[in-house]
């Protein structure tokens, strides 16, 4: 499925969708940026509650398909600006990380 299809199917918010046609192949949850960098798979959806602008840089370098801010976290202005600059897909949901990840899993299988 693509980022756009996942977002629509799960009713998640789009803070910025630079490339809605990008494929999502899995998920990864984590807030320690270096940990995420080392472990998140390419093309996955990354669930986090971190909302500073380094999130956009990590998403770009780790080459994830999209970032999903969970628990109703809103991106700060700098993160939004960076996501736009770096063409990072940035979504959001009020669900907790576990629920959001489970729903993505059901959606992808």
Partner 1 sequence: METIKLVYPVEGGDLIEAGEASSKMKLTLKKLGLPQDIIRRASICMYEGEINMVIHADGGEAQVEVDTDQIIIRMRDTGPGIPDVAQAMQEGFSTAGQTARELGFGAGMGLPNIKRYSDEMKIETELGKGTTVTVRIKIPQ
Binding site for partner 1 (CB under 8 A): 31-35, 37-38, 42, 50, 52-55, 57-58, 60-63, 78, 86
Tell the smallest beta-carbon distance from residue 8 to partner 1 (Å).
26
> Residue 79 or residue 103: which is nearer to partner 1 going by CB?
79
Q: Which is nearer to partner 1, 54 or 99 (CB)?
A: 54
Closest CA to 49 of 17, 92, 80: 92
Q: What order do you get walking across the sheet with 13-16 strand by strand?
A: 13-16, 90-92, 66-69, 44-48, 26-29
- Shortest separation between residue 38's beta carbon and partner 1, angstroms: 4
The whole-angstrom separation of Cα 1 and Cα 3 is: 7
């Amino acid at each position: 499925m693509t980022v756009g299809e996942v977002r629509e199917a799960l009713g998640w918010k789009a803070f910025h969708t630079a490339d809605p046609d990008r494929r999502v192949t899995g998920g990864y949850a984590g807030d320690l940026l270096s940990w995420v960098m080392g472990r998140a798979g390419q093309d996955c959806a990354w669930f986090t509650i971190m909302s500073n602008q380094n999130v956009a840089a990590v998403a770009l370098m780790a080459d994830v398909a999209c970032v999903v801010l969970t628990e109703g976290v809103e991106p700060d202005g700098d993160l939004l600006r960076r996501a736009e600059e770096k063409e990072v897909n940035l979504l959001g949901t009020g669900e907790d990380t576990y629920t959001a990840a489970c729903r993505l899993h059901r959606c992808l299988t």
